[in-house]
Amino acid sequence: MADDIREVTPSELQEMLARGATLLDVREPWETEICRLDGSLLIPMQSLPRRLQEVPREQPVAVICHAGMRSLMVARWLAQQGFEAVSVAGGIDRWAAEADPQMRRY
């Protein structure tokens, strides 16, 4: 299961968020100062093990980072912890390109 993490596109993410999924942003604080999605839960990847209790278990968790590598690793780890987790393919960079062209990119 954890090796089979589903990656979602920005449009699939919009659908998930409309249905109540949690968006977990695992980027560093300096990255989220550049751009972020409203309503996302900001927990840098390295802080997640000690802050895991902050992530709701009742709904799916979509994990986002800058380009999709960290989010894939975190989604795998969350699945091993019993979460229903997906990774946002291409990260916030792809989100900016496809869903929000006005968003600042880095």
Q: Per-residue pLDDT tens for 6-39?
A: 999 999 999 999 999 999 999 999 999 999 999 9
List alpha helices for the chain, DSSP H: 10-18, 29-34, 48-51, 69-80, 91-98
Residues 56 and 19: their CA atoms lie apart, in Å, by: 14
What integer best gives the mean pLDDT of the chain?
A: 96
Per-residue pLDDT, 4: 85
**Phi-psi bin for 7: left (phi > 0), alpha (psi -120 to 50), beta?**
beta
Domain ranges of the chain: 7-98
User: Does the 7-98 domain belong in CATH 3.40.50.620?
Assistant: no
Q: Is the pLDDT of residue 1 over 70?
A: no
pTM above threshold 0.85:
yes
